[in-house]
Amino acid sequence: MRAMTDTAGPSGSLRERNRLRIVDELRRAGRSSRADLVRTTGLSRTTVSKLVAELQAEGIVVERPPESDGAPATGGGIGRPPVALALAPAAGGAIGIDFGHDFIRVAVADLAGVVLAEARREFDVDRQSPAAIDLACELIDELLAEAALDLERIIGVGVAVSAPILRDADGSAQILPGWAAFAPVDALERRLGRPVLMDNDANLGALAEVRHGAGRGAVDVLYLMLSSGIGAGLIADGRLVRGRHGITGEIGHVVVDPNGAICRCGNRGCLETVAAAPALLAPLAPLHGRDMTLQELVRLARDGDEGCRRLIADAGQAVGLVAGSICNVFNPELIIVGGEMIVAGDVLVDAVRSGVARAVMPAIRADAQIVAATLGDRAEMLGAVGLVLEETETTAVLA
């Protein structure tokens, strides 16, 4: 795909640059009136009207009744709202994939980030990584058909992975060697022929919650991602904390019991050995069998099963103790509890709250509000869509 600068450079016409500005603004805003576009692009009313008419004739822009799909209309004053313009669903889209340890989630979204189709499958990604790529590609085919979008119209594929990612100085990302024999970027680019971007799942979940979910407006946030593994995304001063090589937020590997069980990272007694899926599912095997999944466990907890609620509460308490210690170092204004376990609901959030209350210094106890992720267990997938939309230009749409 061409970069924006190629089109906007000396060879790109003024008309094409102006079209791009309108399309980019509609991507950013979701929907805008013509008057909004005049204000936000700085183009004249005549130019906006002419280019919008062209884009409508080409099927790239459509008129939408206000609030037809729940997106907020912008610029509406008192009285009759102006006609809202939006990118046509067929104009283009982005794909987000969340590879968890034991599931794959895929979404196809339009260029404003509205999800058109999505799916989730249980899958042992850790042990069957080549087949995980096959399954992701199958799901993409199904979802593109459901969303009536061609793969050629996809501007990029965002991938959230449940593993630490080593980031080089040039920004290129690879999964930490030895953690997983998994190279989804190369494999997916080869299979799909579209640009693929990757980040750690907790980082993407944190960004999604801060931009569109429970963390809107907050600048110092600790996002806890409690899924099969345990991770965190740290937002400080409104920006993701990446550290020297991008390996931050690995709270699942904070040691909570130096004499505890061996962790998959090689250390002993990490938080994951007491609060991640394998540790929660093992004691349930005599009652529910060895094939029980984390998703079944959290559903049972949500629906009132006492044993499952006990396990989720103990896990939440253990995570809260670590999160409270992090508060003493980092003093966030908000702790967001997300990941697949959030389906359990209040039993988890209340337990995290109680763990934090025990570990946090009394002087800053009141600072950190603790809330459930409003994007729920979809935050990481939505963050993967957001990664593409933020880091990819729109030229593909106008080609």
Interface residues with Zn ion (CB under 5 A)?
253, 263, 265, 267, 270
Closer of 265 and 398 to Zn ion (Cβ): 265
Two tokens at 122? 């249980």
Q: How far is the CB of 202 from Zn ion (least distance, A)?
A: 15
CB nearer to Zn ion: pick between 109 and 263: 263
Question: Which of residues 109 and 202 has its CB atom nearest to Zn ion in the complex?
Answer: 202
CB of 250 to Zn ion, least distance (A): 8
Specify the residue, 49 or 267, whose C-beta has the smaller distance to Zn ion: 267
Q: How many CB atoms lie within 10 A of CB 131?
A: 12
Q: Is the distance from CB of 125 to CB of 133 less than 8 angstroms?
A: no
Taking the complex as a whole, how short is the minimal distance between the CB of residue 200 and Zn ion, in angstroms?
A: 15
Nearer to Zn ion, 275 or 352 (CB): 275
* Among candidate residues 193, 204, 125, 128, the one with its CA nearest the CA of residue 159: 204
Q: At what angle do helices 201-212 and 379-391 cross, to 10 degrees?
A: 80
Instruction: Please identify, using beta-carbon distances, which residue of 147 and 315 lies nearer to Zn ion.
Output: 315
Beta bridge partners of 234: 222
> 236 phi and psi, to 5 degrees?
-120, 130
Residue number with CB closer to Zn ion (65 or 243): 243
Smallest separation, CB 263 to Zn ion (Å):
3
Contact (Cβ atoms closer than 8 angstroms) between residue 194 and residue 392:
no
Give me the least distance between CB of 275 and Zn ion, in Å please: 11
Residue closer to Zn ion, measured from CB, 156 or 233:
233
CA neighbor of 338 nearest in space, from 301, 287, 379, 369:
379
- Whole-number minimum distance, CB 269 to Zn ion, in Å? 8
Report, in Å, the least distance between residue 123 CB and Zn ion: 23
Q: CB 253 → Zn ion: shortest distance, Å?
A: 4
Q: How far is the CB of 279 from Zn ion (least distance, A)?
A: 12
Give the Cβ contact number of residue 14 at 10 Å: 9
Closer CB to Zn ion, residue 157 or residue 263?
263
Shortest Å, Cβ 24 to Zn ion:
43
Q: Which is nearer to Zn ion, 217 or 266 (CB)?
A: 266
Handedness of CA 211, 213, 217, 218 (dihedral sign): negative
